[in-house]
């Protein structure tokens, strides 16, 4: 019997931080991940990690205010306060573990400027901060000798008598189904970017954890808050870091105008992401773009700075757009990047299902609210990964394992698989996923309205029907990616449901949720969270108040 006190699903920054925390608490912990830990999508975080260090004259209150303003006042202020006060210690922990952060002249950690913040508090490793931290956390995981079920895919959470007590999982290399018993399970599966086409997200980012929790009745919250990043490559959706603008790059329209001066005269290119993306989209929609794009101009930054601090972007420009950013501006457009919404948790990472925790992008402890600030996502993962790891270990401590009818769980899955493997239709995951992704991008993109979202909702049953008829072309069990992509599509359909319902429900414009039919923020009616819960009678929408500690909502200007 495979069993662990704490089982962490996903091995990105949140997952590895959670596992290390639980390990240090003395728990028998394991990670299960559909890819090797260093392949996780935390790699893609380029720009940095925010922290207000008091010995630099910064204050956590300023960081909290910037985060709250960035969230368009939808973030829960108690959680934001916790994140911002823990930022310093977490950052120093990472440095002590071995992260090679860039330094200032005195050899102390150096900073760069990032969007939506009054001062430079973003700590970084060139333009591959996520990768640099991810690899160091994996070093620590090797040191701690934490077991990792590498390339295992979680199919379902096991909940008995209301408590989460393990998972059913597929070992991808063999195609065998196993039950792993656990006293607590922490979901750290990241976002759901591939539900949109295009997206900056890696192909593995398919909302698995969000759907797993949703399926067992844990509510998801503010799912309508989907971040479109201002600088992505057309077509592929490959990301160009906000660090480029942090280092001083300009955004130009087809007339060569720095158009942000009309939208955010003070912060210019470094306004919040939702603001910059909307401005770009407006330029493009009003005919001042070039072939659906605007331009990011790095030329004046100089070759030396580009080589030291934006080396990856230089490579990406060459490889994926055929543009040398030292010599010409690169065409970019807003592209789906991040989900602020997610599984509702409290500050300890707890969902409403006892024993089930969540942290990182798949969770919504509500530190990002309606719009996440750049470089706050890495911070979220380590702060709340750490805390949920601690609490999941404490929850498991001294608790007996539940007796599970393992064979029944395995046989149930095998039956589902044998139906899927014997299906012979022309329907495949790839076409459905593409159609779904394009529809999501079209109707849940930078601008939304009732009509578009309703039409999208009306399409869902059709997508589900096609999904139910899906067939596999790979009929073997060994490393069957055809099977994995099909299972992921099922997760994505569940995520789509909650995003669309959340979007239709929120009748205002706040953060990333911009409705042309309700263009203004409406604090009187909508300063609250929107939750979607799956029930036997279908999805149920409900509300929760936003926690406000000391920052009252104000008009948001950059």
Partner 1 sequence: MQITVSVRRYNPQDKENPSYWQEYSLDVEETSSVLDSLIKIREEEDGSLALRCSCRSAICGSCAMRINGHAKLACNTKVSDVAEDGGTITVEPAGVMPVVKDLVVDQTLFWDKVRQVSPWLQPEGEEPEAEYLAPNSDMTHLAGVMACIMCGACVSDCTVLEMDPNFIGPAALAKAYRFAADPRDDEDASRLAALSEYGGVWDCTRCYECVEVCPKGVAPMDRIMALRDKAMEAGYTNNNGARHTDAFEASVSHSGRLNELTLPIKSFGILNLPAQMSMAPVAVRALMRRKIPPIIHKSVPGVKNVRRLVESVKEEQQGEGE
User: Which residues of the chain form contacts with partner 1 (CB under 8 A)?
Assistant: 35-36, 38-41, 43-44, 55, 92, 95-98, 100-110, 125-126, 128, 131-132, 135-136, 139-140, 142-143, 173, 202-204, 236, 238-239, 308, 312, 315-316, 319-320, 322, 428, 430, 472-482
Round to whole Å and give the CA distance between 480 and 406.
Answer: 23
**Which residue's CB is nearer to partner 1, number 404 or number 439?**
439
Round to whole Å and give the CA distance between 330 and 89.
Answer: 38
User: Cis (ω within 30 of 0) for the bond into 198?
Assistant: yes
**Which residue's CB is nearer to partner 1, number 478 or number 535?**
478
DSSP assigned state of 288: -
Active site includes 428?
no
Nearest in space to 209 (alpha carbons), one of 337, 343, 22: 343
Kindly state the smallest distance separating residue 341's Cβ from partner 1, in Å. Answer: 23
What are the strands, taking DSSP E only, across 272-427?
Answer: 294-297, 330-339, 342-344, 356-358, 363-364
Rounding to the nearest 10 degrees, give the CA dihedral for residues 230, 233, 236, 238: -70
**Which residue's CB is nearer to partner 1, number 109 or number 216?**
109
Kindly state the smallest distance separating residue 411's Cβ from partner 1, in Å. Answer: 22
**Which residue's CB is nearer to partner 1, number 1 or number 434?**
434
**Residues with Cβ < 8 Å from 384, sequence gap 6 or more?**
14, 83, 345, 347, 349, 359, 360, 363, 365, 367
Where does 145-225 have alpha helices with state H? 208-215
Kindly state the smallest distance separating residue 139's Cβ from partner 1, in Å. Answer: 4
Q: Are 423 and 472 in contact (CB under 8 A)?
A: yes
**Which residue's CB is nearer to partner 1, number 93 or number 450?**
93
Q: Are 220 and 256 in contact (CB under 8 A)?
A: no
Round to whole Å and give the CA distance between 230 and 456.
Answer: 24
Round to whole Å and give the CA distance between 357 and 427.
Answer: 35
Q: Are 284 and 293 in contact (CB under 8 A)?
A: yes
**Which residue's CB is nearer to partner 1, number 143 or number 550?**
143
Nearest in space to 455 (alpha carbons), one of 477, 468, 475, 440: 440
Catalytic residue among 194, 245, 372, 391: 245
Catalytic residue among 229, 387, 391, 556: 229
Cα–Cα distances in angstroms (integers) from residue 279 to residues 121, 252, 269, 284, 293, in the given order = 25, 11, 10, 9, 12
Active site includes 229?
yes
Kindly state the smallest distance separating residue 99's Cβ from partner 1, in Å. Answer: 9
**Which residue's CB is nearer to partner 1, number 33 or number 364?**
33
Q: Active-site residues: which are they?
A: 229, 245
């Amino acid at each position: 019997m495979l069993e662990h006190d704490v089982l962490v699903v996903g091995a990105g920054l949140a997952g590895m931080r959670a596992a290390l925390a639980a390990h240090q608490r003395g728990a028998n912990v394991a990670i299960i991940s559909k890819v090797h830990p260093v392949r996780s999508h935390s790699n893609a975080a380029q720009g940095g990690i925010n922290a207000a260090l008091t010995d630099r004259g910064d204050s956590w209150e300023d960081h909290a205010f910037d985060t709250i303003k960035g969230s368009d006042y939808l973030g829960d202020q108690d959680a934001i306060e916790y994140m911002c006060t823990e930022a310093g210690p977490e950052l120093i922990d990472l440095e002590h573990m071995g992260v090679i952060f860039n330094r200032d002249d005195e050899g102390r950690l150096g900073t760069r400027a990032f969007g939506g913040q009054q001062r430079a508090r973003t700590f970084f490793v060139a333009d591959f901060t996520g990768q640099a931290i991810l690899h160091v956390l994996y070093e620590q995981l090797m040191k701690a000798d934490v077991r990792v079920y590498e390339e295992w895919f979680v199919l379902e959470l096991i909940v008995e008598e209301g408590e989460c007590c393990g998972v059913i999982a597929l070992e991808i290399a063999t195609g065998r189904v196993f039950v792993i018993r656990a006293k607590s399970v922490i979901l750290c599966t990241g976002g759901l970017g591939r539900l949109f086409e295009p997206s900056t997200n890696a192909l593995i980012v398919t909302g698995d954890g969000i759907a797993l929790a949703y399926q067992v009745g844990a509510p998801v919250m503010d799912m309508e808050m989907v971040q479109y990043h201002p600088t992505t490559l057309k077509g592929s959706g490959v990301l160009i870091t906000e660090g480029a603008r942090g280092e001083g790059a300009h955004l130009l329209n087809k007339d060569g105008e720095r158009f942000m001066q009309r939208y955010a005269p003070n912060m210019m290119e470094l306004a919040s992401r939702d603001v910059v993306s909307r401005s770009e989209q407006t330029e493009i929609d009003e005919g001042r773009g070039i072939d659906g794009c605007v331009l990011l101009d790095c030329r004046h930054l100089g070759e030396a700075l580009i080589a030291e601090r934006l080396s990856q972007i230089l490579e990406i420009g060459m490889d994926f757009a055929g543009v040398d950013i030292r010599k010409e501006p690169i065409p970019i457009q807003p592209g789906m990047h991040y989900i602020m919404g997610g599984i509702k948790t409290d500050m300890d990472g707890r969902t409403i299902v006892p024993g089930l925790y969540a942290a990182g992008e798949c969770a919504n402890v509500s530190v990002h609210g309606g719009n996440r600030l750049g470089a706050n996502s890495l911070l979220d993962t380590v702060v709340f990964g750490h805390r949920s790891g601690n609490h999941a270990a404490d929850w498991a401590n001294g608790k007996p394992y539940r007796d599970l009818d393992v064979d029944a769980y395995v046989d149930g899955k095998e039956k589902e698989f044998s139906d899927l493997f014997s299906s012979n239709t022309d329907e495949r995951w790839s076409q459905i996923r593409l159609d779904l992704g394009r529809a999501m991008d079209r109707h849940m993109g930078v601008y939304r309205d009732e009509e578009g979202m309703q039409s999208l909702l009306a399409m869902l049953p059709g997508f589900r029907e096609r999904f139910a008829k899906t067939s596999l072309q790979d009929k073997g069990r060994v490393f069957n990616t055809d099977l994995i992509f099909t299972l992921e599509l099922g997760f994505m359909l569940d995520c789509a449901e909650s995003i669309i319902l959340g979007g239709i429900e929120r009748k205002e414009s706040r953060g990333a949720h911009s409705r042309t039919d309700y263009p203004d923020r409406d604090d009187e009616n909508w300063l609250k969270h929107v939750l979607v819960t799956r029930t036997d009678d279908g999805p149920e929408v409900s509300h929760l108040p936003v926690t406000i500690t000391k920052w009252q909502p104000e008009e948001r200007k950059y």
